[in-house]
Amino acid sequence: MKNLVIAVDGPAGAGKSTIAKIIAEKLNINYIDTGAMYRAITYKCLKNNIDIENEEHVIEIAKSTDIDFRDNNIYLDGITINDEIRTIEVSNNVSNVAKIKEVRFLMVDVQREIGTRNSVILDGRDIGSYVFPNADYKFFLIATPEERGNRRYKELCEKGYNTTLEEIIADIIKRDDIDSSREFAPLVKAEDAIEIDTTGKAIEEVVESVLSKIK
Ligand code: CDP
Ligand code: CDP
């Protein structure tokens, strides 16, 4: 049977990963957090004191990095990672890593390889528009920057990070801007994607909207 591919794109904090994870469980398919891949490369660069502005060095790091997903966990050079890639420092730098075309080629190869092996739901920025233009289903989640900032702020506070709502909203707006305006595979709604405005909607409500479209 053909593998099922579901693309979930949209700006930061729209609820993509939360919704994609639940759908993956309900449909018993794999979940790939493609943002985590760009975050992992960024984390490794920062850890190795690589200047993110130096594209050649960032590309070298990306080429010598092994990224894989097993049991819905991301592995960086064989070691599973999670909270260390969600820090504010990584968030502040990730869009400048993700705009490098060569880095994207490497990540997209991994994403396509996994997508041709198994049925998957992937969340990101360019899944429906570039990585899997023939995906079976494409969703584009949006919400106001204030709501997205509030959600992310709450999440970071619960994890004990010392930050402010203003800082989080500013990061989200800046990342959306870099992600939407980059030259190669920018954040964009695929023409045939179903847009869902999640502002003011509970997680369960969004899950229901998505599931109702999947036959
Ligand atoms: O969870 P959040 O929305 O904050 O971000 P993420 O999904 O973890 O993605 C982090 C960053 O990776 C984004 O801001 C983009 O710069 C980049 N990214 C991308 O360029 N393409 C993707 N398919 C996924 C993420
Ligand atoms: O992956 P993305 O950056 O699009 O967003 P997320 O990490 O899935 O969601 C950000 C936060 O918003 C999480 O803490 C979710 O629990 C929360 N959320 C929400 O409150 N209501 C929704 N409809 C979706 C997500």
pLDDT digits (tens, 9 = 90+) for 52-72: 999 999 999 999 999 998 887
Is 3 strand, coil or helix?
coil
Beta carbon of 12 within 6 Å of any ligand 2 atom: yes
Q: Which residues pair with 68 in a beta bridge?
A: 75
Instruction: Map out the domains of the chain as residue ranges.
Output: 5-199
Q: Check whether 11 is labelled as a binding-site residue.
A: yes
CATH superfamily label, 5-199: P-loop containing nucleotide triphosphate hydrolases (3.40.50.300)
Judge if ipTM > 0.95: yes
Q: Check whether 10 is labelled as a binding-site residue.
A: yes
Beta carbon of 179 within 6 Å of any ligand 1 atom: yes
Q: How many Å apart are CA 214 and CA 198, to the nearest integer? A: 18
Q: Which residues pair with 124 in a beta bridge?
A: 9
Q: Do the strands 67-70 and 30-33 form a parallel or antiparallel pair, or are they unpaired?
A: unpaired
Q: Check whether 98 is labelled as a binding-site residue.
A: no
Alpha carbon of 124 to ligand 1 centroid (Å):
6
Q: How many Å apart are CA 113 and CA 41, to the nearest integer? A: 18
Q: What is the pTM of this model?
A: 0.96
The whole-number pLDDT of residue 72 equals 75
Beta carbon of 13 within 6 Å of any ligand 1 atom: yes
3-state helix, strand, coil in the chain (%, to 5): 55, 15, 30
Contact in structure between 120 and 3 (CB atoms under 8 Å): yes
